Amino acid sequence: MKWVFALMSVFALGNAFSQEGIKPIRGAVPIPETNPSDTYRMERHDRVLRRSHKWQPPIIPHNIKGYQITKNVNTCMTCHSRKAAKESGATPVGKSHYLDREGKEHPNISTRRYFCLQCHAPQFDAEPLVDNTFKP
């Protein structure tokens, strides 16, 4: 497996040098290696920000450091599941999350919605990495 990655990175690097027009955000760092991440502290806003367009998944208005989303447990659901939300006062999971891909409604949340962070991002006051021309 390792040599496949190594080979892939060699090709990737070769490509990057031959096509000078393309500048990936990750820079010249080969794919098997990781960029050093920015050290930042997650905001503790505690205020719900308004959505910027209609279908935007709401952003997470609180710190989620150490929250587990594993095979065993999804700690977001400790407060945000329909049942827990009644007690916790958190925003309950949206109706759409109970639909499977055929549009059939289930009593439990659909497994395709398991990974919350796939759509919902924690809010952070950051400059956009690239210009955005999206208009809702």
Question: Contact positions toward other proteins, by CB under 8 A?
Answer: 44, 46, 62, 65-66, 68, 70-75, 77-78, 81-83, 88-89, 107-111, 113-114
CB of 11 to other proteins, least distance (A): 34
Q: Which is nearer to other proteins, 27 or 66 (CB)?
A: 66
Q: Which is nearer to other proteins, 30 or 61 (CB)?
A: 61
**3-class DSSP string for 22-61:** CCCCCCCCCCCCCCCCCCCCCCCCCCCCCCCCCCCCCCEC
CB of 113 to other proteins, least distance (A): 8
Q: Which is nearer to other proteins, 54 or 83 (CB)?
A: 83
CB of 19 to other proteins, least distance (A): 39
Q: Which is nearer to other proteins, 50 or 53 (CB)?
A: 50
Residue pair 79/91 in contact (Cβ under 8 Å)? The answer is no
All residues at 6 or more sequence positions from 31 whose CB lies less than 8 Å from its CB, including other chains: 5, 8, 9, 12
CB of 7 to other proteins, least distance (A): 31
All residues at 6 or more sequence positions from 20 whose CB lies less than 8 Å from its CB, including other chains: none
Half-sphere exposure of residue 119: CA atoms within 13 angstroms, side-chain side: 12
